[in-house]
Amino acid sequence: MSHTPEQLAAGLWRWTARHPEWHPGEFGREVASFAVEADDTLLLIDPLLPPEPHAVLDLVDDRAGDRVAILVSIPYHVRSAEELWRRYRDCADCAIWGHAACAKRLRDRTGFREIELGVPLPTGVSAHAIGRPRRHETPLFIPAQRALVFGDAVAEVDGQLRVWATGKVDGRRARWYRERFNPTLEPLLELHFERVLVTHGQPVLCDGRAKLRAALDAAPWYHRS
């Protein structure tokens, strides 16, 4: 695991930490977090501090200015959001943004802001609904990096993006994803993104739209240890 942030591009960093509720097995034991410089704001996306957080905190301390926005793509990923909000709330305009269900995972909701679909987030970030019925996960489009962020709906496996199924894939489940779930991801392909940042697996730094298109055309992928 890379507890030291890796710079993926100008203004974009990634680090990983062990999944806080992990079960035995390889896939998913580490999860990725991202930091993005956009205009006058530092975006922290699904942040999880590693056990030795000094390198991550040094990065954020150095880059945080007057505005810090903590963006949560799915309630499971609230994780270190509140700890970071407490660290920066007195020296910056700092808030946690996420689906309404994220609030249940916070002890102090003072700094929480509910994502409203169609209402721009800091630096023009937009959140998007997926699922039928709608999931709590809201993929995030980061214009400053031409990047699309997924929490759990899409993962990177063996160099490919895959739609991550919530149960073992048989014919019936494969049909449900093809006919009901994947079509709710189709509108994301209209966004002008090049990168796909996933919390499970490696980031896609080029040809992201084509790779997401391929994931939607393929059978869903399932893994549980």
pLDDT tens sequence across 110-122: 999 999 999 999 9
Average pLDDT over residues 99-124: 96
Establish if 182 belongs to a structural domain.
yes
Q: Which domain holds residue 91?
A: 6-217
Establish if 146 belongs to a structural domain.
yes
Establish if 84 belongs to a structural domain.
yes
Residue 199 has a pLDDT of 95
Of 91, 86, 20, which is closest to residue 33 (Cα–Cα)?
20
Q: Is the pLDDT of residue 10 over 90?
A: yes
Confidence of residue 167 (pLDDT cuts 50, 70, 90): confident
User: How far is it, in rounded angstroms, from Cα 205 to Cα 145?
Assistant: 10
CATH number at residue 151: 3.60.15.10
Establish if 223 belongs to a structural domain.
no
Contact at 8 Å (CB) between 35 and 46?
Answer: no
Confidence of residue 166 (pLDDT cuts 50, 70, 90): confident
Establish if 161 belongs to a structural domain.
yes
> How many domains, the chain?
1
Place of tokens 């919530």: 166
Q: Is the pLDDT of residue 79 over 90?
A: yes
Q: Is the pLDDT of residue 225 over 60?
A: no
- Structure-model confidence comparison of residues 28 and 163, the more confident one: 163
Residue 24 has a pLDDT of 44
DSSP string of 153-206, one letter each residue = SEEEETTEEEEB-SS---HHHHHHIIIIIHHHHGGGGGS--SEEEESSSPPB-S
Establish if 225 belongs to a structural domain.
no
Beta strands 147-150 and 195-198: pairing type? parallel
> pLDDT averaged over the chain?
94
Q: ∠ at Cα 107 (68, 17), nearest 5°?
A: 60
Tokens standing for residue 101? 């269900």
Average pLDDT over residues 7-25: 83
Establish if 189 belongs to a structural domain.
yes
Q: ∠ at Cα 134 (131, 140), nearest 5°?
A: 75
Span of 28-42, 51-65, 82-96, 136-150 with lowest mean pLDDT: 28-42
State the number of CA atoms in the 13 A half-sphere of 16 facing the CB: 15
Entry pTM: 0.94
Establish if 169 belongs to a structural domain.
yes
Strand partners, 17: 31
| Digit-coded pLDDT (tens) for 126-138 | 999 999 999 999 9
Q: Which long-range contacts (CB under 8 A, 24 or more apart) does 101-105 make?
A: 101/75, 101/136, 102/72, 102/75, 102/78, 104/75, 105/75, 105/78
Place of tokens 């030291």: 4
Residue 164 has a pLDDT of 95
